[in-house]
């Protein structure tokens, strides 16, 4: 309640905010911001609210890598991962993509606000990337949609206030992860790595279809697939 009090205005009084919150509007949308590590990001209904598991992945990448020359963040949403990595590795070239023009507008605004020089490209997965980046990425990271169509209805009401296109991948759930893992070899340097956030029940099937290693999140769940390019 205190947090809502802090963002109430005469145009948007506390009673209205409480009503919206009761109907499932995420607190971060009502506040207009979300924390991601040390960064405060603007968020609204156009983008997924960045999750602690994704923050854990970003921190894990920072421990395992040092100033990669080229970092690619596919499915960037609010820009959380790209901006976090750029803040830690100012000398790296960081490129981020999303197919939602609305999401990219939020990401761009966050980059501008935080004075972090990330390059933003719009388009479908790798199709958004400039061709000159082919075989150049040292590190590729993605938190793509990985919920199946039938799971959507079962998600908590708060989550269903977030963009459906940020969460639902297709009838199976792994459609976008599969496309990324199938295509990423064309974009990585030899020895480069891709790290993809996955749903907690998807590790087994992804291991059957792709040459990936699975890593756990802070809660011990199988949540990240790593593919190394030979
Ligand atoms: C789960 S959200 C992740 C956002 C952000 N990376 C994060 O972790 O907070 C997935 C994002 O992927 C984008 N997306 C979905 N399908 C896509 C596609 N085929 N190509 C590019 N972006 C896509 C959505 O617009 C959404 O912003």
Q: Residue 142: its pLDDT value, please?
A: 98
Domain assignment of residue 100, yes or no: yes
The CB of 110 under 6 Å from ligand 1? The reply is no
Q: Residue 58: its pLDDT value, please?
A: 98
Domain assignment of residue 197, yes or no: yes
CA of 40 to the centre of ligand 1 (A): 19
Q: Are 103 and 166 in contact (CB under 8 A)?
A: yes
Q: Residue 85: its pLDDT value, please?
A: 98
Residues 168, 173, 179, CA angle at the centre, nearest 5°? 100
Task: Report whether pLDDT(102) > 80.
Answer: yes
Domain assignment of residue 178, yes or no: yes
Q: Residue 230: its pLDDT value, please?
A: 87
Domain assignment of residue 36, yes or no: no
Report which ligand 1 atom has the smallest distance to the Cα of 169. 16
- How many angstroms separate the first and last alpha carbons of the chain? 52
CB count within 10 Å of CB 123 equals 12
Q: Measuring from atom 4 of ligand 1, which residue has the nearest CA?
A: 77
Task: Report whether pLDDT(160) > 80.
Answer: yes
Task: Report whether pLDDT(164) > 80.
Answer: yes
Nearest to 199 by CA among 31, 51, 36: 51
The CB of 121 under 6 Å from ligand 1? The reply is no
Q: Tell me if the pTM is above 0.85.
A: yes
Domain assignment of residue 15, yes or no: no
Domain assignment of residue 121, yes or no: yes
Q: Give Cα 5 distance to the centre of its chain.
A: 29
Choose the residue to mutate in 36, 43, 75 for probing ligand 1, maximizing ligand atoms within 8 Å of C-beta: 75
Domain assignment of residue 161, yes or no: yes
Q: Residue 2: its pLDDT value, please?
A: 77
CA of 189 to the centre of ligand 1 (A): 23
Question: What pLDDT, in 10s, does the model give residues 169-186?
Answer: 999 999 999 999 999 999
Q: Residue 67: its pLDDT value, please?
A: 93
Nearest to 28 by CA among 76, 80, 93, 68: 80
Task: Return the CATH number at 142.
Answer: 3.40.50.150
Q: Residue 54: its pLDDT value, please?
A: 98
Q: Residue 8: its pLDDT value, please?
A: 94
Choose the residue to mutate in 26, 58, 99 for probing ligand 1, maximizing ligand atoms within 8 Å of C-beta: 99
Question: What pLDDT, in 10s, does the model give residues 40-74?
Answer: 999 999 999 999 999 999 999 999 999 999 999 99
Element of type H or E holding 225: strand 222-228
Range of the domain at 167: 46-228
Report which ligand 1 atom has the smallest distance to the Cα of 36. 9
113: tokens are 């606000």
Please tell me the distance from the alpha carbon of residue 16 to that of residue 85, in angstroms, as a whole number.
37
Q: Residue 59: its pLDDT value, please?
A: 98
Question: What pLDDT, in 10s, does the model give residues 19-36?
Answer: 999 999 999 999 999 999
78: tokens are 């609010």
199-211 core/surface letters (b: 16 or more CB in 10 A; e: else): beebbeebeeebe
Number of structural domains, the chain?
1
Residue at token pair 């935080």: 114
Report which ligand 1 atom has the smallest distance to the Cα of 127. 20
Q: How confident is the model at residue 3 (pLDDT cuts 50, 70, 90)?
A: confident
Task: Report whether pLDDT(199) > 90.
Answer: yes
Question: What pLDDT, in 10s, does the model give residues 201-223?
Answer: 999 999 999 999 999 999 999 99
Domain assignment of residue 40, yes or no: no
CA of 156 to the centre of ligand 1 (A): 19
């Amino acid at each position: 309640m205190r947090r809502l009090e802090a963002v109430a205005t005469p145009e948007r009084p506390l009673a209205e905010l409480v009503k919206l919150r009761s109907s499932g509007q995420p607190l971060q949308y009502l506040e207009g911001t979300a924390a991601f590590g040390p960064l405060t990001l603007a968020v609204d209904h156009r983008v997924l609210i960045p999750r602690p598991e994704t923050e854990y992945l970003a921190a894990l990448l920072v421990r395992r890598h040092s100033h990669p020359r080229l970092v690619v963040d596919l499915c960037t949403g609010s820009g959380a991962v790209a901006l976090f990595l750029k803040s830690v590795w100012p000398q790296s070239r960081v490129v981020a993509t999303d197919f939602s023009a609305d999401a990219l507008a939020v990401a761009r605004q966050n980059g501008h606000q935080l004075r972090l020089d990330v390059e933003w490209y719009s388009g479908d997965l790798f199709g958004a990337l400039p061709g000159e980046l082919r075989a150049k990425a040292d590190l590729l990271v993605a938190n793509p949609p990985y919920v199946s169509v039938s799971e959507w209805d079962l998600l908590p009401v708060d989550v269903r206030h977030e963009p459906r296109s940020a969460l639902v991948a297709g009838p199976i759930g792994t459609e976008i992860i599969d496309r990324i893992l199938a295509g990423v070899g064309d974009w990585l340097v030899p020895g480069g790595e891709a790290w993809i956030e996955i749903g907690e029940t998807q590790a087994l099937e992804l291991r059957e279809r792709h040459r990936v290693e699975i890593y756990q999140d802070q809660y011990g769940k199988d949540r990240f697939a790593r593919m190394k390019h030979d």
